[in-house]
Amino acid sequence: MGKIAVTLQQALAQRAREGARGSTTARGLAEGAGWDVADILCTFGPRDQPFEERHAGVCIAMVVAGSFGYRAAPGRELLTPGALLLGNTGDCFECGHRHGAGDRCIAFRYAPAYFERLAADAGIASAHLNFGRARLPSLRALSPLIARACAGASDTGEAVWDELAAELAVAVLNAAGALTRPERTASAAAWSRVAQTVRLIDDTPAAPHTLTRLAAAAALSEFYFLRTFQRVTGVTPHQYVLRARLRAAALRLHDDSAKVVDIALDCGFNDLSNFNHAFRAEFASSPRAWRARGAARRT
C-alpha cells in the first residue's frame, strides 16, 4: 500500500472549495480470512444530517483524527482521537458531526465466527463477546496497537495487519471487560465544549495546554471543566494532552529522521528524560527501539 494521498485537513479544504456534500470514503489496507481493515475518511460536518448504518460484523475502529458523535444500542458517546468505537454484529448505529467537521478512523472488521475463535483461543468466555459499551476511552494498554496501526496506514511497506487484527480483538475484549463501571452520559452543551477543546489539543498538541488555559478556552471553571472533560472523553485533560503528544511523536519517529531530542521538544516535552520516560510507559519501548522496529518492518 502507498502513503495516504489525502489527509483529513486536505479533504475538508477540498470540500469547502468545491461546495460539495459530506461523504465517507474507505481505503482498504488489508484483509484476511474473517477480517479486514480500512482507512475511513469522513467529511461530514455540522450542517449534514447524522447517518445511520448497520454493523455487518464486529467492528473496532480507532479514531485517529477529528471527533464525532456515535450512538448505538449500548449508548451515546463522543469519539475522540485515541478512543475506540465498538460495534456489535447486526447493531444499527448513527454517526454525527454536530460539533465539528470530519474524522478519520482505522476500522478493523471481523466476521463473527473468526472473532469468537480469537476470543476462545485467548480464554475469553463467549458470554463476554457482545460489547456492553459503545466506546473505549484512550487507554495506555491500547496505545501501542493504535500507534502501530497509524504507522502502518501511512507506510510504503506492508504492516503485519493479521497479527495486529488478532492482538487488537483480544486486547479490546480484555479492556472492555475490565471497565465494569458504566460511563455517565453528558449534556449536549458539555459535549460541544469538550469537542471544541479536543480539537484545539489535537491541532496544537505541543502548545502549553494547562488545566487553567483549557478551562478558560471552554469558558468553564477548572473543577467543572475537569469533571466534564473526563466524563465525556473517559480520561483527564492531562492524560489526553500527554497521549496526543506521544501519538504525534510516535508517528514522527516512524517517518522522520530528525534527532529524538528534536522530536521530543517539537511535540511539547520539556526535556529528553521526561519524554523517554513517558514514551516507554505508554508504548513499552524506548523511542530509539520504536524507530528501529519501524525501520525493520519497512525493509
Amino acid symbol at 46: P
Q: How far apart are CA 144 and CA 98, in angstroms?
A: 30
- Report d(CA 151, CA 154) in Å as an integer: 5
**Residue 140 CB neighbours (<10 A):** 15
- C-alpha cell of residue 178: 475490565
For the chain, what are the domain ranges?
A: 8-178, 188-298
What does the pLDDT read at residue 80?
Answer: 92
Query: Between vectors from CA 77 to CA 211 and to CA 63, what angle results, nearest 5°?
Result: 80
Region 273-295: mean pLDDT is 89
Cut 0.85: pTM above it? no
CATH topology of domain 188-298: Arc Repressor Mutant, subunit A (1.10.10)
Burial class of 240 by CB neighbour count within 10 A (0 to 12, 13 to 18, 19+):
buried
Mean per-residue pLDDT of the chain: 87
* Domain range 8-178, CATH class: mainly beta
Angle, CA of 105, 95 and 39, to the nearest 5°: 20
Q: Facing residues of 108 across strands?
A: 37, 60
44-98 pLDDT, tens digit each = 998 888 878 999 999 999 999 999 999 999 999 999 999 999 999 999 999 999 8
Residue 249: pLDDT above 70?
yes
Q: What pLDDT score was predicted for residue 134?
A: 94
**What was the pLDDT predicted at 1?**
33
Tell me whether the CATH fold assigned to 8-178 matches the one assigned to 188-298: no
Give the span between the Cα atoms of 44 and 48, in whole angstroms: 6
Q: Does 180 score more than 80 pLDDT?
A: no
Secondary structure (3-state) at 265? helix
Show the cell assigned to 13.
479544504
Query: Can you tell me the mean pLDDT for 198-216?
Result: 92
Q: Cell digits for 99?
A: 460539533
Output 173 or 181, whichever has higher pLDDT.
173
Residue-wise pLDDT tens digits, 142-166? 998 998 888 887 764 445 798 899 9
Q: For residue 81, what is its C-alpha cell?
A: 482521537
Contacts of 249 (CB under 8 A, 6+ apart): 263, 264, 267, 269, 275, 279, 287
Q: Report the pLDDT averaged over residues 109-122.
A: 91
